Structure 1
């Protein structure tokens, strides 16, 4: 049974091509095709947890665009505000994995279809039956115009009293940290839930002591400052105090998408009225499960998987 809660997110998606062998990319001749993208990962994560997830985007009117569309629709994501556009190829990225396990990602997203999305394309109709809006810094980094789109989304959300969550998801291949800080400073005062990695908030804020983070949250009127710290767990600052939850012990094989999964898990807990400690535990559980599976979104768990995984550690009234 699907949740009564609906979430809306928007952003680019890509075809991810994973190498069939290790070594420099110039010597790799075979790749496995996957689908990736931070906001789409979040939407899929929410859908697998039973929520109604709407993803707003643009795709190239090409075969790769159809792959992404069909994949997301098959995951139960609402695609009514996704359109195909001519002349803008669907974005790609190629992964390189060296023998020692290190890797690089090569992006081919020039003239991304998302560039055709305009602020006036954001209408109030899109927010019907939506209980939370989720934005990320990836969308903002693609093009300066996207900042105006995000502001339009936030404006309508505030008019409709819909909370807004935000994950900085810093991509320094797309913009500089100075550019990111300037844009974030404009948006932070309007964000209700900030979901950020400890390394990211350190880049944004310059320091990461709890005292400095408290000042940062209070200055920007951020109601819930959620800090993701991987194997060290997570913590949350709200209403003048900190809450902390340890990570679940797992053997990670791929951390890609874990942050997006954590976000989906936290938003599930928030919308379903779980206590703060329960929210953090649930989100930690989702993030941990994601790391046990290779791929951008393959490891995003279904609701029962999360309950079964965390039940020995925390008792939550469903």
Structure 2
């Protein structure tokens, strides 16, 4: 059995309302209650693959907060640093899904409980035993104060020689591209593994040519610059070399959460010593399986599901 590595992530948890029908949200009359959030999805994905997964968050002291807490705990996630707070309602989002599997998300996260998280909550004790710190631009976009929290935890990780993975997870409904660029320039120097969609890195850098990607990786000394490109597969610039892996062909039902699943698959593969192309293959496999199930994290596979899938290229029965 492979050693069980530990990852830590920080971010909001939300109640996700999934539509009972596809199409514009204004015509949808029924929803199912689910649990979501980019960082929480990542934590779930890691736990299902077999990593120790710690999630740091704040939830409203309400029924929805209990739903998220119990769900995360049931997935085997370490929730010892998740607290309930009064006066801050648990965040919500409503999903819109089109016939081709694409979708939009409408957020209701004003006065998010995560606003009560403070820089002083980031301690060396929190990071003890952690093999990878994974952060997302979603948490940074919620409130300017969160940047101080990330600054502190990044400095602690550097002091403790803990590698950092980062997904920009660009949400332009939450902040402007100028705010995002300025913030990311402060984060990138600490990042060992950057996991980004091709479309979002183009928005961040202003272009997505191979030369621009290499220049960014070398400017910020990012050891692994990983590009997610959906059905076109994925590639990575690692130690001066490019590696590529094609996508798996599936019929997508819901693409939400596929990027978070890709991240979990890549980090699992990296920590367990996979070669670069093997990391991309496993990550592509996890991301593909996520799209075959409706929901933010319902499609995140267990290791014994994704390994047969990537080796045989068949959609397994769940």
Q: What is the TM-score of this pair, normalised by structure 2?
A: 0.95
Matches within 5 A, 1:142-157: 142-157=142-157
SS of aligned partner of 1:111: coil
Match of 2:93 in 1: 93
How far is the alpha carbon of 1:35 from its aligned partner?
0.5
Once superposed, what is the RMSD of the aligned Cα atoms?
1.6
Match of 1:309 in 2: 309
Does 1:55 pair with 2:61? no
Match of 2:158 in 1: 158
Alpha-carbon contact 2:103-2:256 (below 8 Å) kept: no
Moved more, 21-30 or 298-307: 21-30
Alpha-carbon contact 2:10-2:39 (below 8 Å) kept: yes
Moved more, 82-91 or 11-20: 11-20
Q: 2 CA distance for matches of 1:262 and 1:27?
A: 32
Q: What is the TM-score of this pair, normalised by structure 1?
A: 0.95
Q: 1 CA distance for matches of 2:98 and 2:255?
A: 17
Alpha-carbon contact 2:97-2:254 (below 8 Å) kept: no
Alpha-carbon contact 2:9-2:56 (below 8 Å) kept: yes
Match of 1:277 in 2: 277
Instruction: Give unmatched runs, 5+ long, in structure 2.
Output: 314-318
Matches within 5 A, 1:235-246: 235-246=235-246
Alpha-carbon distance change, 134 to 101 in structure 1, aligned in 2, over 3 angstroms: closer
Alpha-carbon distance change, 86 to 244 in structure 1, aligned in 2, over 3 angstroms: same
Runs of 4+ in structure 1 displaced over 3 angstroms?
Answer: 21-29, 96-104
Q: 1 CA distance for matches of 2:30 and 2:284?
A: 35
How far is the alpha carbon of 1:245 from its aligned partner?
0.7
How far is the alpha carbon of 1:167 from its aligned partner?
0.1
Match of 1:288 in 2: 288
Match of 2:316 in 1: none
Match of 2:40 in 1: 40
Match of 1:15 in 2: 15
Alpha-carbon distance change, 301 to 103 in structure 1, aligned in 2, over 3 angstroms: closer
Q: Deviations over 1:183-220 (max 9, x none)?
A: 00111111110000000110011111111111110001
Moved more, 287-296 or 47-56: 287-296
Match of 1:126 in 2: 126
Matches within 5 A, 1:53-202: 53-97=53-97, 103-202=103-202
How far is the alpha carbon of 1:104 from its aligned partner?
3.8
Q: Deviations over 1:46-81 (max 9, x none)?
A: 000000000000000000000000001000110000
Alpha-carbon contact 1:3-1:50 (below 8 Å) kept: no
SS of aligned partner of 2:312: coil
Alpha-carbon contact 2:101-2:254 (below 8 Å) kept: no
Alpha-carbon distance change, 96 to 209 in structure 1, aligned in 2, over 3 angstroms: closer
SS of aligned partner of 2:308: helix
How far is the alpha carbon of 1:94 from its aligned partner?
1.7
Match of 2:253 in 1: 253
